[in-house]
Amino acid sequence: MALGGPQGLFAGENLMTGWVIAGVVLVLFAWLLRQALPSPRDRQLERLRTAARAQGLQVSLRPETPTQTGDRLRPGGTERQEKLLRPFYSLPLTGAPRAPRPKWQADYRPEGAPVPMEPLPAGWLLRPGTLVLAGAVLEELGPVLAAAPPGIEGIRADGGQVGALWRERGEAAEVEALKRWLETLRSFHLAQRVRTADAEPPL
């Protein structure tokens, strides 16, 4: 005997509610599963970093202040105060003769450096730190910076390593190109002298 009247209506409402709840649960499960799985970009970054480590590069996330990275303003126009984590690919100076090494950095600004530092390529801002800017240092550094692979946003060099802030892109071929360039940068760095108190002041 078919259900009719209020009882049949109540049963139909219960069935409909059950389907709605089941649908919500399935949607929530699918969303959670999607969040748990790595995105295509996450998988690309993992491949790049694995390839870099296999070639002897060190990979880390380096905190940089907005003034160093050039990201002083957020998309909405407000000023950033917090440090930003930047992918940093570096080569250690292991195996090099023991000697004092200068600490210096350079940053690339696509819109151009505030004060062009000729003969450095346009957009590069050098903070020499303890790097002695004597002789042909800038002339030697210029071609190295000009040959920087796409995505290089800055250089950090000190007594233990030389490396680059890199906006990661591509695949293993791009990592190989980055390593070759870092080796050239390391050769330049190892040939430099450390500025002392009585040496020529930085520019």
**What's the whole-model pTM score?**
0.74
Closest CA to 53 of 18, 25, 88: 88
Percent of the chain with pLDDT over 90: 54
Percent of the chain with pLDDT over 70: 71
Residues 15-64: tens digit of each pLDDT: 677 776 777 777 775 566 566 668 999 999 999 999 999 999 999 999 98
Section 82-96 average pLDDT:
88
- pLDDT (0 to 100) of residue 202: 41
Q: How many CB atoms are closer than 10 A to CB 161? A: 18
- pLDDT (0 to 100) of residue 32: 65
User: Which of 111-131 are b and which e, b meaning 16 or more Cβ less than 10 Å from the residue's Cβ?
Assistant: eebeeebeebbeebbbebebb
Distance, in Å, from the CA atom of 85 to the CA atom of 183, rounded to the nearest integer, reads: 24
Distance, in Å, from the CA atom of 173 to the CA atom of 162, rounded to the nearest integer, reads: 21
Residues 125-166: tens digit of each pLDDT: 999 999 998 889 999 999 999 999 999 999 999 999 999 999
